[in-house]
A and B are shown apart, each in its own frame.
Chain A
Amino acid sequence: MRADCFPPFDPSRRVLLGGLLGGLPAAALLRAVPTSAQGAPRVVSLDYGLASTLLALGIVPAGVSDLAGWDKWVVSPSMPAGVVDLGTSTEPNLEILKALKPDFILATPYLDAQIPRLQEFGRVLRLQTFRYEGTPILQAVTAATRSLAGELGRLPQAELFLSGAEAFFDDCRARLAPVSAPPVALVNFMDARHVRIYGNPGLFHDVLERIGLSNAWTEQSSDWGLQTIAIEELSRITDPHARLIAFDPVPPDVLPKLARSPLWRSLPVARPGHFHVLAPALMFGMVNEAMRFAGLVTQALEREA
Chain B
Amino acid sequence: MSGLTQSLRFGPAAVACASLTLAAALAWLLVAPNFAAPAAPGYDAARMVLLYSTLPRLATALIAGAALSLAGALFQLVLRNPLASPTTLGISAGANLALVITLLAFPALLGFGRDLVALAGSAAAAAIVMGLGARRGFSPLSLVLSGLVISLWCGALAAVLTFLNDRYLVSLFIWGAGSLAQQSWDIPLSLLWKVAVLALLCGAIVRPLALLELGDGSAAALGVRFAYLRFFAIAIAVSLSALVTSAVGVIGFIGLVAPIVARLSGARRVGDILIWSSLIGAALLLCADVSVQLLAGAFSDFLPTGAVTAIFGTPVLLFLLRRLKMRHRVIAAPFAGLRRKLPAGRAAVLVLVAMLAAIAIAMLCGRNPDGTWQWLGGPALAELLPLRLPRVMAALASGAMLAVAGVLLQRLTGNEMASPEVLGISAGATFGLSISLFAVAASGIWVQLGFAASGAFAVLAVILAFALRAQLAPERVLLAGIALSAMVDALVGAVASTGDPRALTLLRWMSGSTYGVSAGTAMALSLAALLLVAPALLSRRWLDLLPLGPSSAASLGVPLKSARLALSCLAGLLSAVATLGVGPLSFVGLMAPHLAREAGLTRALPQMAGAALLGGALMVLADWLGRTVLFPYQIPAGLMSALVGAPFLMLLLFRKSRTTQVL
Contacts and interface: CB of A to CB of B under 8 A. Distances in A.
A290 B207 CA distance: 68
Interface stretch (B123-131, B176-184, B267-275): B176-184
B183 A191 contact: no
A232 B183 contact: yes
A260 B184 contact: yes
A266 B48 contact: yes
B232 interface: no
Interface string A57-77: 000000100101100010000
Contact of B171 (A113, A190, A229, A232): A190
Nearest to A249: B168
A20 interface: yes
B139 interface: no
Q: Interface extent on A, as a size class?
A: 35 or more
B513 A261 contact: no
Contacts of B633: 2, 68, 87-88, 93
Given A190-B170, A193-B181, A232-B181, A252 B107 contact: yes
Contact of B380 (A20, A63, A93): A20
B343 interface: no
Interface string A224-242: 1011111110011010000
Contacts of B497: 228
B634 A232 contact: no
Interface in B372-412: 372, 374, 377-380, 383-384, 387-388
Interface in B23-76: 43, 45-46, 48-49, 51-54
B458 to A, nearest CB: 22
B250 to A, nearest CB: 14
B53 to A, nearest CB: 4
Contacts of B107: 251-253
Interface string B448-476: 10000000000000000000000000000
Most buried by B among A112, A219, A258: A112
A78 to B, nearest CB: 19
B48 A224 contact: no
Interface in B487-533: 497-501, 504-505, 508, 513, 515-516, 518
A112 B501 CA distance: 13
Contacts of B45: 235-236, 238, 267-268
A276 B448 CA distance: 43
Interface in A1-38: 1-3, 6, 10, 13-14, 16-17, 20-21, 23, 25-26
A289 interface: no
A84 B369 contact: yes
A171 interface: no
A134 B11 CA distance: 58
A86 interface: yes
Contacts of A253: 107, 110-111
A90 interface: yes
A161 interface: no
B624 interface: no
B345 to A, nearest CB: 39
Contacts of B388: 95
A164 interface: no
Interface of B: 43, 45-46, 48-49, 51-54, 103, 107-108, 110-111, 166-168, 170-171, 174-175, 179, 181-184, 186, 300, 302, 366-372, 374, 377-380, 383-384, 387-388, 442-445, 448, 497-501, 504-505, 508, 513, 515-516, 518, 630-634
